[in-house]
Every structure is written in C-alpha cells, then in structure tokens.
Amino acid sequence: MDDRLSKVFAALADPTRRDLVARLTRADATVGELAEPYPISVQAVSKHLKVLEDAGLVTKARQAQRRPVHLEAEVFDLMTAWIERYRRQAEERYSRLDAVLADLNATDNPTEGIAS
Amino acid sequence: MDDRLSKVFAALADPTRRDLVARLTRADATVGELAEPYPISVQAVSKHLKVLEDAGLVTKARQAQRRPVHLEAEVFDLMTAWIERYRRQAEERYSRLDAVLADLNATDNPTEGIAS
DNA sequence: TCAATCATCAACCAAACGGTTGACAACGCA
DNA sequence: TGCGTTGTCAACCGTTTGGTTGATGATTGA
C-alpha cells in the first residue's frame, strides 16, 4: 500500500515512461500508437502504461478494441506542491543562515561546526 | 549509465529518502543523527544517503569521523523544469482543444474520435 | 459468422532494490 | 598507544521491476 507521491515519482523514474508522458502532452494516443517508436514489445509498453495509470498520471478510455490513453495533468500539481514546499523551506533556512552569519560577522565571532 | 533526472525521481520515490530530504531542508545533520528516528540500521540509512548523493540531491563533508550531510537544493530546479515544461505543453494543448471544440460547435459539426 | 485487430493476462527470467549482519577503516582523545 | 565512535564496504537474502514469449479476451468489419 504505497502512497501516491511514491508511485508518481517511481513512475517518472523510468525514461520510457517519461517519454510517454511527454508525448501524451501533445495528443491522446492508443496503446499501439504509443508503443510504435520503442524497441520493446507492445506488452512491455502496456505494463508501463499500467504503472502510469496506477500513479494516476494517465487514464484509458475504451473505443472499440482501442484504448485511447489520456494524460491527467493535475498530478503534476502533487509533485510541484511537494517540491515547492521543501524548496521554500530550504530557502528560508538559507536566509536564516545568512542572517546568522551576517550577525556573527557583525559581532566579530568566528564561525564553527555545522548548524545544530 | 542512467540519466540525472531518472536518478532524482528514483531517489524521491522512496518515502524514507523523501523524509531525509525534508529533514535536511531544516538543518544539515550527520549520518547517525539522520538514522536515529528510523527503525532500520545505520547501514541502510547510509545506503539511502548514497542514493541521494548519486542523484546530486545531497553532499557529504568530512569532519573528523563525522560526515555532515548537506542538501543541494538546486536539483529541485531540474525537476521543476521538467514538470513545468510538460505541464505547460499540456495546458497549451487543452487550450487548442478548447478552441477546436468551440469552432466545431460554432459550425455545428459533431465531434468524433480522439485527437490525431 | 468469423477472421483480423488491439490490448491484456500469465508465466518466466535476470537485474536492481531495500534490508540484514559482520568486518573494517578512519579519526580523536585519554 | 590503543580504545571508542562514526561511517562504509561486502556478502547475502527476499521482493520488485522491466523485459520476454505465448495464449486469451473483446470488438469490429467483411
């Protein structure tokens, strides 16, 4: 029972899957169309799409025998939220550190060791 | 020879490693300090840190026996760049689709099939 | 109806992953 | 000098992953 964010990051850790996502930003496509450019079997691509689907990055519709695949771009927000949260935290910390260093410098104390 | 982005996403796919990153946004810390809260061995945490290091998310300094670990927040930019690029592409596409649908609607044609 | 098409399921395989324990390297300090 | 502390290396183990091939399901079109 892995959490959502783990699945999303894991899904995008594979270059083929990142490429699938990239192509799906341009247009929906069937499994066969998506598989065509890669030197691997259709089954392998189908598995990749399942991983993307489980991560919520993609949905499949049914249209006769075909399964048009559609990108669910909202998931990007989940990642962006995580990244930006900690980026901001890190930046705040560096600002604080800068302030401390400036203060130390002003009062002429030597710096030492790492931040506690 | 895996590419950088793959390593970064793979590194962040593990909840323990995401937590390590989260904690490192607050302060640098030694391997031992970082390992303390988790129910796994120090060696396992050391391995996690190696993965983060290989992905460029983290660097280790040497200070006596200790190895203070430091977050390299710039890597966030790499992910953000990738995500935002395709998010933007997807949004542009949806705008185009909206335009097409509006046009079809205006000329009273039925919609059919998926975008080519 | 029935063959062709599109996609998935199932079984299998090798490699990678996340964890373990045990040994050892490097360093500071008493 | 030598001992305690901190961290990594090495070997191992079970599970997951990314691929394969072969069979099967589902649906359309002739």
The mean pLDDT value of chain B amounts to 86
Name the residue among A16, A21, A65 with its Cα closest to residue A37: A16
**B14 and B60 inside one domain:** yes
Both B18 and B67 in one domain: the answer is: yes
Residues A46 and A103 in one domain: no
State how beta strands B69-71 and B58-60 pair. Answer: antiparallel
Whether residue B79 and residue A82 make contact (CB cut-off 8 A), yes or no, is no
Structural domains of chain B, count: 2
Q: Which nucleotides of D are covered by protein (CB under 7 A)?
A: 4-10, 17-23, 25-28
A67 and A86 inside one domain: no
Instruction: Give per-residue pLDDT as tens, A80-111.
Output: 999 999 999 988 887 766 666 666 555 543 33
pLDDT in tens, B64-93: 889 999 999 999 999 999 999 999 998 888
Is A115 part of a structural domain of the chain?
A: no
Percent of residues, chain B, with pLDDT higher than 90: 72
Residues B64 and B114 in one domain: no
Q: Would you state the pLDDT for residue B10?
A: 98
Domain interval for residue B114:
74-116
Which residue out of B24, B25, B48 would a mutagenesis test of the A interface target, given it has the greatest number of A Cβ atoms within 10 Å? B25
Q: Given the structure tokens 């998506």, which residue do they identify? A: A34
Q: Would you call B80 an interface residue with chain A, using a CB distance cutoff of 8 Å?
A: yes
Assigned domain for A114 exists: no
**Per-residue pLDDT at B91:** 87
